[in-house]
Structure 1
Amino acid sequence: MTSRNLVKLFWNTLLVGGITTAIVGLFVRWHELQPFFADFKIIDIISAIVWLIVMGFLFSVISQMGFFAYLTIHRFGLGIFKSVSLWNAVQVVLILFGLFDLVYLRYSNFAKSGDPLLPFLVPALLLAVVSLVVAWLKSKETNRDAFIPALFFMIVVTLVEWVPVLRINSSSWLYTMVIALLACNAYQILVLHKLNAKSEQERQQKKIQNANKAPERQKKKVKKSTV
Structure 2
Amino acid sequence: MLLLFLKLEDRMAKDGNGMITLDREFCNVVHNPDDLNNFVYSELLTNMRNREWLCERAIVAPTNEMVGQINEQIMSRVEGDIVKFLSVDTVMDTEQVTSYPVEFLNSLELSGVPSHKLRLKVGVPVLLMRNLDAPRLCNGTRLQVTHLGRNIVKAIIMTGMAKGENVLIPRIPIIPTDLPFQFKRLQFPLKIAFAMTINKAQGKH
Give the TM-score normalised by the residue count of structure 1. Answer: 0.25
More helix by share: 1
- Which protein, 1 or 2, shows the higher relative CO under an 8 Å CA cutoff with sep ≥ 6? 1
Q: Name the larger-Rg structure.
A: 1
More strand by share: 2
